[in-house]
Amino acid sequence: MNNQLLDLVGEIYEASLDPAHWDHVLTTLCQTLDMKSGALLVHDLETGNHSVVGGHQIPAISRHSYRIGLGKLDIGWKSVISQPEGSAFQFASHETTKREHPFYYNMIMRPLNIHYMGGVIIYSNSEWQVALGLHRSLKQGEFDDQTLATLETLAPHFARAMRIQKEFHRLRVENYRLNNVLSRVMMGVVIVNERRELVYCNPVAEQVLTSNPTLKVRGRVLSAYSNAESAALNQAIDDLMFAPLATSKSLGLSHPEKASPLAITLTNTDPSEELDNLILPARAVTIYLSDASLAMHIDHQSLMKIYSLTLAEAKVAIMVANGMAVKEIAEQNEVSVFTVRTQLKHVFDKMGVNRQQDIVKLLLSGAISPPPGSPSEKPESSVTISGT
């Protein structure tokens, strides 16, 4: 992945924390891939609403029309969501659309001078669907294989960023404090002090730092694989230490053995926040690590032993922790939805929780913790944390 795309990945994750940044992401994407216009589209299946989250050269009236009803007529949307997640393709040209969908051609393609349309399904489950729709003029030509391959490379980062955005929005609405956010969001989080030393590292971050060679801890200090990226990381930390609160920066870190970059977003931390009884230093920076290939690798046998789960129940718990819906679990395990729901009920009873979110929180916050009153030995972390 070249530096231009690495920078774009960083912008994608910055938008997950600042939704107003999505327009900039789409502008950068369209300029990079030589697109006339484009939009990041969301369909909320619970409310039936369609919306444009971010766009480039999409008029305000078009965004409004899409939200109040035009989205239901979007032939591009219907084409994209019929494809597997992460699959990019061209789905329309002006000739075929004029012949087969004259209303859409006259309402959308002709007024906006769009000749070719393509896209990629970013994310789809029982609650919501997210897709990228991109447009080219006659002069820009059809979507080529390289462009489609680039979209497929970026798709996992868009998917993870949208999940992060949705979770952060929910947590902000519910007014959760920092430690609740860190324990429930499926991403790595570390906090460093003014000397750039780690003072906090959540379990997901430990997993990233252990399994991904792109970023390591050397002498309690984070270090990227390349010297140039380490220097950029250190500079970003130093800049944020003295910046106004809520300032953020994003970087994409690379490694020759990894197909996708490790995306990190840095923001300065309010020292008044409480975090697991940790007193934060007067100056600190929080770093969010997002590894597109990361899944929570939890040992089935340990879960079975600690919570008296069957193998099938342990697998369901781990799939839930990795963000899979009941229907997706049923399809992967080749069983019925009813069977998965029954297994999930047994997991709730044995783990002492009431919701799927509680399973995620329980496995992430300790990775695996015995129920209260059970003997346990907490494994020593491989990541060294500095005292404050």
44 Cβ partners below 8 Å, 6+ apart? 50, 51, 127, 128
Phi first, then psi: give them for residue 21, nearest 5 degrees: -80, -10
In this predicted structure, the answer to whether residue 173 has a pLDDT above a threshold of 70 is no
In angstroms, the CA 185 to CA 364 distance is 9
pTM score, whole prediction: 0.52
Q: To which H or E segment does residue 16 belong?
A: helix 3-17
- Tokens at residue 351, please? 């783990």
Beta bridge partners of 10: none
pLDDT for 24: 94
- Tokens at residue 222, please? 């984070």
In angstroms, the CA 342 to CA 338 distance is 6
Q: What is the pLDDT of residues 158-168, one digit of tens each?
A: 988 888 787 66
pLDDT for 185: 47
- How many separate helices (H) and strands (E) can be counted in the chain? 15, 12
pLDDT for 70: 65
Q: What percent of the chain shows pLDDT beyond 90?
A: 26
In this predicted structure, the answer to whether residue 240 has a pLDDT above a threshold of 80 is yes
Identify the structural domains of the chain with CATH numbers, from first to last. Answer: 3-171 (3.30.450.40), 176-290 (3.30.450.20), 300-366 (1.10.10.10)
